[in-house]
Amino acid sequence: MKSLLDDYRFFDPEESVRKTAYELYLNVKDIPILSPHGHVEARMLADNKPFPDPTELIIIPDHYIYRMLYSQGISLESLGVPTVDGTPVEKDHRKIWQVFGDNFYLFAGTPTGVWLAHEFVEVFGITETLNSKNAMNIYDQMLEKLKTKEFLPRTLFEKFNIEVLTTTDSPSDPLESHKRMKESGWSKRVIPCFRPDASVNINSAKWKDEIVGVSKVSGIDIHDYASYIKALENRREYFKAHGAVSTDQGVESPYAHKLSKIEADAIFQRALKGDTTEKDVAAFTANMLMEMARMSVDDGLVMQIHAGALRNHNRQVFDRFGLDKGGDIPIQTEYTRNMQEFLNEFGNNPNFKVVLFTLDETTYSRELAPIAGHYPAVKLGASWWFHDSIQGMTRYRQNVTETAGIYNTVGFTDDTRAFLSIPARHDLARRMDSNFLAGMVARHMITKEEAKSMGKALAYDLAKKAYNL
């Protein structure tokens, strides 16, 4: 695996591009990491306890990994993925690791393969490629290291050179871990992001619990739409007071449309009774995109929209294992018409910023780049999820840059649950951006000096500015 960590990895093989790419990469390689959107849990860093073992650290939290294994007929039970109802699953983490080793070849040519190579070599000093034979030996080596101080979460955080890490949190979250972290005297910046989905998805089985939770933490009794909005505003203030700079909404469609207060309240009342239609759900979500934008104008939190996943496509997996188990599948997504009301209301407002993410790459050149290349409030988020990869990043830059330039984008967002993959992902992004810029230098579209300044913007400045960090 060592050979995969070549200095020139991921660059265009053509000599002149490769050399320039490497030069540009060296220029940004050691800049601190800004991670303005992700899913690492604050508790891990608040507790700062040793990671129990390689399986717990690498396999269990990463749906990229067990999605692929599952696609080849390996059951989630055998991978130790916990069930919703507590039905027992494989508990022998060595056995699970062996399955992983047996099937590691499946990841060849995938971003997961690339990140894991980075993690094994750079973080653990493991240079052999994982396989059936060496799986247990590698497990033992890693286990040994995980017991040391060097592998405590905060130590790794510092080693990874992370300047800001953003977690993602529901309105009902009291942000205890964030508080605890601060109180511990640890000086690193770990900030929450306000993700209202649990409060907005009125068709979710857990919606009412969330509303009760928000009532409790806000001290505002939510009984109608007005009190609901007031409580959310209250929670945004709370998040802001605890360091938040942004919000994030995950929506199936980016359709936005303001309801009258009467209409919104009628749906809200039906939701309280558990009596909503599919139309209600769509209308409410569309309305909440408008409401959240309005609140952002007021409180200055940067709005993010992640659109286009049909969540829990595989009911069997969802019913047994719950959310985020690799069974979300993207759908066609439309921004031009769906967001017209939104953009006309807020897109020209100098006090507003919205960052758009997509899983439908056809929208890059057709809709998103033209929108970001015109509306002052809109910035484009990085290539996301299934497209957070060598080819995916390349397509993103190729399709977006000519219409939106680089200055209407916000740099890299890792969006990961896998703590160890953060440096691997940012390194990959910096390499791909360097390579993209080097390609333009080699084609005489930009000078090398311009490329250097653009490279720094992509690695650091744009994220810092976009998220007011």
Name residues contacting a copy of itself, limited to 373-392 (CB under 8 A).
Answer: 373-376, 378, 386-387, 389-392
Q: Does residue 17 bind a copy of itself (CB under 8 A)?
A: yes
Q: Which stretch binds a copy of itself (CB under 8 A): 155-163, 191-199, 242-250, 306-314?
A: 306-314
Is residue 59 close enough to count as binding a copy of itself by CB under 8 A? no
Give every CB contact of residue 365 below 8 A, 6+ residues apart in sequence: 399, 400, 402, 403
Site residues for a copy of itself, 90-109, by CB under 8 A, read 105-109
DSSP 168-218: -B-TT---HHHHHHHHTT---EEE--B-THHHH-TTSTTHHHHHHHHHHHH
Q: Figure out which of the listed residues 234, 407, 464, 469 binds a copy of itself, where binding follows CB under 8 A.
A: 407
Alpha helices in 327-413 (DSSP H): 340-346, 362-363, 369-372, 390-404
CA distances from 242 to 28, 163, 180, 402, 467 (A): 30, 17, 11, 38, 15
Per CB under 8 A, 193 contacts a copy of itself: no
Does position 82 interact with a copy of itself (CB under 8 A)? The reply is no
Q: Does 13 bind a copy of itself (CB under 8 A)?
A: yes
Nearer to a copy of itself, 389 or 413 (CB): 389
224-232, 257-265, 359-367, 415-423 -> range binding a copy of itself (CB under 8 A): 359-367
CB of 107 to a copy of itself, least distance (A): 7
Mark residues 157-186: x for contact with a copy of itself by CB under 8 A, - for none: ------------------------------
- Which residue among 153, 326, 381, 455 contacts a copy of itself (CB under 8 A)? 326
CA distance 293 to 197: 14
Tokens for 356, please give them: 């758009």
The encoded tokens of residue 382 equal 């990085």
80 binds a copy of itself (CB under 8 A): no
Per CB under 8 A, contacts with a copy of itself among 108-147 are 108-111, 113-114, 129
Give the shortest CB-54-to-a copy of itself separation in angstroms. Answer: 22
> With binding defined as CB under 8 A, does residue 447 bind a copy of itself?
yes
Structure tokens, 158: 């510092």
Scanning 80-88, 162-170, 446-454, 461-469 for contacts with a copy of itself by CB under 8 A, the matching segment is 446-454
Q: Does 450 bind a copy of itself (CB under 8 A)?
A: yes
Asked if 442 is part of the footprint of a copy of itself (rule: CB under 8 A), the reply reads: yes
Q: Does 279 bind a copy of itself (CB under 8 A)?
A: no
Percent composition of the chain: helix, strand, coil (DSSP 3-state, to 5) = 55, 10, 40
The encoded tokens of residue 342 equal 């939104």
Asked if 359 touches a copy of itself (CB under 8 A), the answer is yes
| Cα–Cα distance measured from residue 63 to residue 149, given in angstroms and rounded to the nearest whole number | 28
What six digits make up the tokens of 446? 């930009």
Region for residue 322 given its phi and psi (left: phi exceeds 0; alpha: psi -120 to 50; beta: otherwise):
left
